[in-house]
Structure 1
Amino acid sequence: MRIAVLGATGTAGSAIVSEALDRGHHLTALARRPAPARPGVRLTVRAVDAADPAALGPALADVDAAVLTIRLAPGDESRLAPLTRTFLDVAQRHGTRVLVVGGAAPLRSPDRPGRLLIDDPVRVPAAWREVARASLAQFHACHEHSYGDWVYLSPPAILEPGDRSGRYRRGTDTLLVDDDGTSRITAPDLAIAVVDELEMPGPDRHFTIAAAV
């Protein structure tokens, strides 16, 4: 499979690139300041501005699927939804399947059934409200877009470096937690879930994951 990853130098993006390469896929790693390509692998590296559809077009034209996994600097959160719309615009023109690694805010709270995570002050304290609002706006941007070939992955509350266990839990619209209430996964295990979804798409437009227990 030919896969493009926008945000390929980030914690999630770099893990997704590594996992997909290890499974034999051909990767196009996209970032504003990309890392040098490793020699001898099925990897193309391109410098791309996520806000520039003219630059995104050639990068998404010849791939089977594209992963959007970008995080913006504090103060720039409001740009996330427009950048996502631009990405979907370009993907639609080329018929490219999209997987968005977004945020947890669109999920339901495991402690307060019927309430979104963003409205649970215990799970989303004030310091994280702007980030949460941005991810919810991104989720709505996907739903409101005319292109239908996308899926949105809401990671758990904590995405951290760590080992590849090879296992994870998958859910739909409610935050997954451990017995102690923690919601977490390592970047390598998140990457497994992403590539699994690309290789064998599940039935859900919106899904979440967490570390296996």
Structure 2
Amino acid sequence: MNITVIGATGMVGSRLVTEATARGHRVTAAARHPGTHPDPAVTPLAVDAGAPGQLEAALADAHAAILAVRAAPGQEQTIAPLTTAVLDAAGRAGARLLVIGGAGPLRSPHKGDLLVIDDPNYVPIEWRAIADASATQLRTCVQHPNHRWTYLSPPAILEPGTRTGTYCRGTTTLLTEPDGTSRITAEDLAVAALDEIERPGTDRHFTVAQNSTVHAATSTSGVRRG
């Protein structure tokens, strides 16, 4: 499969590239400054989403695309227009799109009518701007005429770590451990993302978390192994 990763040099994007090539896919690694890559299955491509034609070029041969861009502090307002541009380009290319978003638009595990963005247990004030951006990003997807997208919300804590190859999958409620924490490694998020690309589920919006001690009651799909 030909997969375009947009944001390929970031924490998540770089791991998506690694996971995809390990599974035998060819990857267009799109980023503002893509650098070089030693794997011949990876084609680095400089892309400015605001430049006409560059996204189309990145998606020209793609069967699927993954948007994995996280805004820098103070630039959160750029995420929604970028997502619109990628949805537009993916629609023209006929490529399915997986958006790696944020935890903000998930429901809080403490109270179903409360979003994570409004739960200070998971979104302290210093994270509010990026959580707002993720909620806006999901609304952008929902309102867009291109409906061939899926939105993956990571748990509250996403950081580099070990690839275990397993995870729990839920739908639109944050998955938590017994102590209330909610986390996954970037490596296992990449496993979940590539599983979704290879075997698309029926959920337009879903979440994942480490499977070691996640509350079974909060997981709708159980443990997956990539």
The corresponding residue for 1:29 is: 29
- Work out whether residues 53 and 87 of structure 1, in 8 Å CA contact, stay in contact via their aligned partners in 2: no
The corresponding residue for 2:159 is: 160
* Cα distance in 1, alignment partners of residues 124 and 186 from structure 2: 23
* Cα distance in 1, alignment partners of residues 68 and 81 from structure 2: 14
The corresponding residue for 2:179 is: 180
Partner deviation per Cα, 1:125-175 (whole Å, 9 max, x = no partner) = 111111111010000000000001000000011111111111100000000
* Cα distance in 1, alignment partners of residues 63 and 3 from structure 2: 6
* Cα distance in 1, alignment partners of residues 20 and 187 from structure 2: 11
The corresponding residue for 1:142 is: 141
Find the residue that maps to 1:173 and give its secondary structure. coil
The corresponding residue for 2:47 is: 48
- Work out whether residues 53 and 86 of structure 1, in 8 Å CA contact, stay in contact via their aligned partners in 2: no
Deviation at 1:200, TM superposition (A): 0.3
* 2:155 counterpart letter in structure 1: P
Find the residue that maps to 2:141 and give its secondary structure. helix
Deviation at 1:51, TM superposition (A): 2.3
The corresponding residue for 1:11 is: 11
Bigger shift: residues 132-141 or 53-62? 53-62
The corresponding residue for 1:80 is: 79
How many matched pairs? 212
* Cα distance in 2, alignment partners of residues 42 and 189 from structure 1: 21
- Across the aligned residues of Structure 1 and Structure 2, the Cα RMSD in angstroms comes to 0.9
Find the residue that maps to 2:187 and give its secondary structure. helix
- Work out whether residues 172 and 208 of structure 1, in 8 Å CA contact, stay in contact via their aligned partners in 2: yes
Find the residue that maps to 2:53 and give its secondary structure. helix
Deviation at 1:103, TM superposition (A): 0.4
Unaligned runs of at least 5 residues, structure 1:
none
TM-score, L = length of structure 1? 0.97
Structure 1 stretches of at least 4 aligned residues deviating more than 6 Å after TM superposition: none
Bigger shift: residues 119-128 or 72-81? 119-128
The corresponding residue for 1:91 is: 90
* 2:179 counterpart letter in structure 1: D
- Work out whether residues 164 and 189 of structure 1, in 8 Å CA contact, stay in contact via their aligned partners in 2: yes
User: Judging changes above 3 Å, is the alpha-carbon distance between structure 1 residues 53 and 108 closer, same or farther for their aligned structure 2 residues?
Assistant: farther
The corresponding residue for 2:38 is: 38
- Work out whether residues 7 and 30 of structure 1, in 8 Å CA contact, stay in contact via their aligned partners in 2: yes
- Work out whether residues 53 and 90 of structure 1, in 8 Å CA contact, stay in contact via their aligned partners in 2: no
Deviation at 1:198, TM superposition (A): 0.4
Deviation at 1:111, TM superposition (A): 1.1
The corresponding residue for 2:218 is: none
Bigger shift: residues 51-60 or 150-159? 51-60
Partner deviation per Cα, 1:23-42 (whole Å, 9 max, x = no partner) = 00010000001131114x31
Deviation at 1:50, TM superposition (A): 2.2
* Cα distance in 1, alignment partners of residues 197 and 103 from structure 2: 20
* Cα distance in 2, alignment partners of residues 114 and 4 from structure 1: 36
Deviation at 1:122, TM superposition (A): 2.2
The corresponding residue for 1:208 is: 207
Find the residue that maps to 1:46 and give its secondary structure. strand
Deviation at 1:191, TM superposition (A): 0.6
* Cα distance in 1, alignment partners of residues 173 and 89 from structure 2: 30
